[in-house]
Amino acid sequence: MPSVCDSQPGALSLDQALERLLAGIEPVTQVERLPLDQAPGRVLAADVLSPLDLPPFTNSAMDGYAVRAGEARPGARLRVAGTSLAGRPFTGSMGASECVRIFTGACLPGDADAVVVQEDTLRQDDAVLLTIDTAIKPGANVRYRGEELQAGEPLLPTGTVFRPAAIGLLAVAGCRDVAVLKRLRVALIATGDELAEPGQPLQPGCIHESNRPVLRALLAELGMDPLDLGVVRDDRDVLRKALLEGAQRADVLITTGGASVGEADYIVDLLRETGQVEFWRVAIKPGKPFVFGRLGETPVFGLPGNPVSMMVTFLQLARPALLRRAGMAPSRPARWWVVCRTRLRKPPGRMEFQRGVLDWREGVPGVTALREQGGHRLTSMSRANCFIVLPSACAGVEAGEMVEVEPFDGCGHVPLAATPVLGPDDS
Residue-by-residue DSSP string for 199-243: TSPPPTT-EE--HHHHHHHHHHHTT-EEEEEEEE-S-HHHHHHHH
Q: Are 152 and 117 in the same domain?
A: no
Q: pLDDT value at position 423?
A: 39
Helical pair 236-249 and 267-274, crossing angle rounded to 10 deg: 60
- Average pLDDT across the chain, whole number: 90
Q: Give the number of other CB atoms < 10 A from CB of residue 35.
A: 10
Distance CA 58, CA 112 (A): 10
> Would residue 297 count as lying in a domain?
yes
User: Would 425 be classed as within a structural domain?
Assistant: no
Which whole number is the average pLDDT over 51-67? 97
Lowest mean pLDDT among 59-73, 108-122, 322-336: 322-336
Mean pLDDT confidence for 133-138: 94
Asked if residue 37 is part of any domain, the answer here is no
299, amino acid identity: P
Residue 75 lies inside a defined structural domain of this protein: yes
Q: How many structural domains are present in the chain?
A: 4
Question: What's the CA gap between 21 and 292, in Å, rounded?
Answer: 7
* Helix, strand, coil percentages, rounded to 5, for the chain: 20, 35, 45
State whether the Cα torsion 356-362-364-365 is positive or negative.
positive
Number of residues that this document lists for the chain: 427
Whether residue 9 has pLDDT greater than 60: no
358 and 310 assigned to the same domain: no
Same domain, 212 and 341: no
The whole-number pLDDT of residue 239 equals 94
Do 286 and 377 belong together in one domain? no
Look at residue 388 and tell me if it is in a domain: yes
Please report whether residue 102 resides in a domain. yes
Residue 91 lies in a domain: yes
Q: Is residue 391 part of a domain?
A: yes
Please, which pLDDT band fits residue 4 given cuts at 50, 70 and 90?
A: very low
Based on the fold, state whether residues 172 and 193 are members of the same structural domain.
Answer: no
Phi and psi, residue 214, nearest 5° = -65, -45
- Closest Cα to residue 302, out of 316, 290, 320? 290
Sorted by sequence, the CB contacts under 8 Å of residue 91 that are 6+ apart come out as none
**Neighbouring C-beta atoms of residue 292, cutoff 10 Å:** 24
- Do 17 and 154 fall into the same domain? no
Model pLDDT, residue 262:
55
pLDDT reading at 417 higher than 70: no
Range of the domain at 10: 4-30+182-328
DSSP 8-state symbol, 64: E
Task: With a cut of 80, say whether residue 6 has pLDDT above it.
Answer: no
Residues 258/265, Cβ–Cβ less than 8 Å: yes
Q: How confident is the model at residue 101 (pLDDT cuts 50, 70, 90)?
A: very high
Q: Alpha carbon of 188 to those of 167, 225, 377, 424: distances in Å?
A: 31, 10, 21, 40
Q: pTM for the complete prediction?
A: 0.84
Q: What is the CATH number of the domain that holds 251?
A: 3.40.980.10
pLDDT over 90 at 199, yes or no: no
**Same domain, yes or no: 319 and 350:** no
Q: Which residues contact 400 (CB under 8 A, 6 or more apart)?
A: 339, 340
Is the same domain home to 197 and 316? yes
The pLDDT value given to residue 197: 87
CB atoms within 10 A of CB 362: 5
- Residue 375 CA to residue 312 CA, distance in Å, equals 9
166 and 121 housed in the same domain: no
- How far apart are the C-alpha atoms of 352 and 404, rounded to whole Å? 11
Q: Is the pLDDT of residue 111 over 70?
A: yes
Task: Find out whether the peptide bond into 286 is cis, omega within 30 degrees of 0.
Answer: yes
Distance CA 113, CA 60 (A): 10
Check pLDDT > 60 for residue 275. yes
